[in-house]
Structure 1
Amino acid sequence: MTKRKNQIITTAAALFKARGYSAVTMRDLAASMDMKAASLYNHISGKQEILTHLILEVAHKFTKGMNSIVSDGDSAFAKAEKLIALHIEIAILHSDALAVLNTDWMHLEGADYDEYIALRKGYEQDFKKILQQGILAGEFKNLHVETILFNLLSTLRSIYLWIPKKSATEVADLKNELPEILLTGIRN
């Protein structure tokens, strides 16, 4: 990716996060970059390409992280801790793109939409398997897996809202304390 294309995608991510994908035009993006809208098309085909790049890049990072965690020999509890750390790390490094993923994924089209849905379903299924393994091993309480997953993901998917407003010390505290807070209630 060229430096300019990266700048366009980064600027668009911030605009999409602030105003929503549907509310941002290519003219808005060009104005934010102090360039003409027509010049954007030398680097990018349009908003859909930007949206696809932002969402699929983050979704692939989650999938890659999940695959790594699933393949290690750790306990289910340790894997759950690593998944929480994965969410925090992605929220730190890709806050704007994560916001776009969470709020605007439904605007993806065609094969890109299908790819995202498949990645998300696979991620959630792997997370459920880890929780089920933990229940079977006696590491987690015998609670409904869907309820556990819903509660964990509800918190993890909103971390991007909190992190940009906090100091480095507060983010470090989050990294240390969030796994304990989230997993204590289900630990057996």
Structure 2
Amino acid sequence: MAKHISQLQQQVFAAKSLYREIHTPIDSKNTNTVLFNDLVQLAKGNLQVEQQKVMQQVNQSLPLRRQYIQLLETLAFATSPVQAAASSVVTEITSRKSAEFELLFKRDKQFLGQVYVILKIPHPIEKHHNQGVCLNACSEKVISSLHFPAIEDGKTQLLMEESDQKFINMFDAEFAIYLS
């Protein structure tokens, strides 16, 4: 059943893409077309895909963004949905926890403005030990993607700048988190 749904999604995606290509004037067509397979590989966390290029096009196109989020919902190892804020004033949270993972941050004591982002996965899959973990932070308007190094002893970490938009997105209550 799931394979049939996936095939239907691919067919609808291809039909919509071709329809847009037919009705877009030649002088405004983008020569860098994103294929359904590019989205699938990106959602799976495959580093063979040109991540920057594909993610840029996903963020520029609402239909691609919707399709990508649907793929993430289907293919993700773990998710943390949009957080319900207790107050409309406070939208930044300090950690993300689910049954499958925990995402924390620890400020660097020597270099102000740098933060260690620690990802703990108690029961990682083999891919996480070999290829690392891909984290997607998704809102209605933008998707950001980060790649963590391979898991060792149930955790991995990145050192990031506090002002980095990808860091800010991870801890924004209005962003859903998908791990693959």
| TM-score normalised according to structure 1 size | 0.25
Bigger radius of gyration among the two: 1
Task: Name the TM-score, length of structure 2 as normaliser.
Answer: 0.26
Between structures 1 and 2, the one with greater helix share: 1
Q: Whose strand proportion is higher, 1 or 2?
A: 2
